[in-house]
Amino acid sequence: MSSRPAPAPGPDISISPDELIKITRLIYRWTGMTFGEGKRYYIERRIGERIAKTGCADTRAYLAMLGTDAEEREVLINAFTINETYFYREAHQFEALSKEILPAIVADKKPGDLIRIWSVPCSTGDEAYSIALWLLENWALVDAYNVEIVGSDIDTKAVEAAMEGRFAARALQRLPEKVIEAYFEPAHHHRRKIIDDLRESVHFNAANLFDGATLDSLGRFDVIFCRNLLIYFDEDSRLAAANNLHDRLVPGGYLCLGHSESMSRISDRFDLVRLDDAIVYRRA
């Protein structure tokens, strides 16, 4: 058995309290996410990796680089985003989507009309593709309407992975076997690619929930899934995100949050709606 060389140690990066504050303020300004002193190891590890890759001498030099290098800012944001996801996560909301939310929406539409659903943050596409799969399998009227599913994320690498549509077994573990066989190509290098017809029917793009310019171009949606994101924000960022989500919904549109999130404690611009399978929020 051949031995592998030990991995090279990361750079010995020391971040002063002032530098830590500067970095976390930048991340907060760009993403709305908060990282305090308790996340020092998490921050130092990621900054250390970026300093080593860019060849900067120290944290001060790297901070100066961030002030002028938009591409490096994008890479750093990607390093700090969290992409824990899998297919059919919190599937009770998909049940509510097909049984209650969409029937309420199409009551004011006619066959052939457009229905828009937004997954944000979409991470590597598991949620957006899950919505498509769920509707194909569980909503009898899916072919009667023009359903457009859009996935957006601030992490450009995650968006690229979503467009590619290749997933490891762990991401698919909650899917019924018949769904995997019907909508995924055979495994290759321990990953399965979603079939082209389905992959091409879901649209992905990079967007920042705190950047109005990137959001305005997306238009408005009948349903938004924004799950397990607000828990990473402070009170001000949650309110800003809530306002932007509100503006991206059509009047009467529905917002689905994560099970531990509550819009009622953030904004009064949404009506709480109790469904059989979930609690969601509605733009009045």
Mean pLDDT of the chain: 89
Query: What pLDDT, on a 0 to 100 scale, did the predictor assign at position 60?
Result: 87
What's the 3-state SS for the chain? Answer: CCCCCCCCCCCCCCCCHHHHHHHHHHHHHHHCECCCHHHHHHHHHHHHHHHHHHCCCCHHHHHHHHCCCHHHHHHHHHHHCCCCCCCCCCCHHHHHHHHHHHHHHHCCCCCCCEEEEEECCCCCCHHHHHHHHHHHHHCCCCCCCEEEEEEEECCHHHHHHHHHCEEEHHHHCCCCHHHHHHHECCCECCEEEECHHHHCCEEEEECCCCCHHHHHCCCCEEEEECCCCHHHECHHHHHHHHHHHHHHEEEEEEEECCCCCCHHHCCCCEEEEECCCCEEEEEC
Query: What pLDDT, on a 0 to 100 scale, did the predictor assign at position 182?
Result: 97
What is the pTM assigned to this prediction?
A: 0.80
Q: Hey, what CATH class is 92-283 in?
A: alpha beta
Phi/psi for 249 (5° steps) reads: -95, 145
Query: What pLDDT, on a 0 to 100 scale, did the predictor assign at position 18?
Result: 85
Q: Write down the domain spans for the chain.
A: 17-80, 92-283
Query: What pLDDT, on a 0 to 100 scale, did the predictor assign at position 39?
Result: 74
Query: What pLDDT, on a 0 to 100 scale, did the predictor assign at position 1?
Result: 38
Share of the chain above pLDDT 90, in %: 63
Please, what sign has the CA dihedral across residues 154, 156, 157, 160? positive
Share of the chain above pLDDT 70, in %: 94
- What is the CATH topology of the domain spanning 17-80? Chemotaxis Receptor Methyltransferase Cher; domain 1 (1.10.155)
Query: What pLDDT, on a 0 to 100 scale, did the predictor assign at position 19?
Result: 85
